[in-house]
Amino acid sequence: MKALGRYLVWGGEVVTGAKSFKANPVLGSVRLNRLGLHVARVWSGYWITRLRMALLAPGVPTADRRQFNEQGFVLKENYLPEAQFKALVAAVARFDGEIRECCQGDARTHRILLTPEVLNALPEAKAVLDDPALKRLFRYCSGHARLPICHIENVLNDLTEPGTRRDPQKNLHIDTFQPTMKFWLYLEEVSEENGPFVFVPGSTRPTRERLKWEYAMSLQASRHADHYTASGSFRVSAEDAARLGTEGPRAFCVKGNTLLIANTFGIHARGEAAPGSSRLALWGMSRTNPFLPLPGLGFGYFNRLQYRVLTRMRQRDDERAAARGTLSSWHRIEQTRIVDEPPESN
Q: How far is the CB of 269 from Fe ion (least distance, A)?
A: 7
Q: How far is the CB of 201 from Fe ion (least distance, A)?
A: 16
Name the 3-class secondary structure at 61.
coil
Q: How far is the CB of 286 from Fe ion (least distance, A)?
A: 14
Q: Which stretch binds Fe ion (CB under 5 A): 22-30, 35-43, 62-70, 169-177?
A: 169-177
- State the burial class of residue 42 (Cβ atoms within 10 Å of its Cβ: 0-12, 13-18, 19+): buried
DSSP string, 86-143: HHHHHHHHH-----EEEEETTEEEEEEE--HHHHHH-HHHHHHHT-HHHHHHHHHHHT
C-alpha span between 229 and 215 (Å, rounded): 13
Nearer to Fe ion, 49 or 263 (CB): 263
Q: How far is the CB of 175 from Fe ion (least distance, A)?
A: 4
C-alpha span between 143 and 52 (Å, rounded): 5
Q: How far is the CB of 321 from Fe ion (least distance, A)?
A: 24
Asked if 124 touches Fe ion (CB under 5 A), the answer is no
Nearest residue to Fe ion on Cβ basis:
175
Contact 310, 35 (CB under 8 A): no
Nearer to Fe ion, 201 or 295 (CB): 201
Q: Which stretch binds Fe ion (CB under 5 A): 113-121, 172-180, 194-202, 319-327?
A: 172-180
Contact 252, 198 (CB under 8 A): yes
C-alpha span between 74 and 53 (Å, rounded): 15
Choosing from 106, 167, 175, 240, the residue that interacts with Fe ion (CB under 5 A) is 175
C-alpha span between 244 and 61 (Å, rounded): 27
Q: Site map for Fe ion, 12-41, x if CB under 5 A?
A: ------------------------------
Which residues contact Fe ion (rule: CB under 5 A)? 175
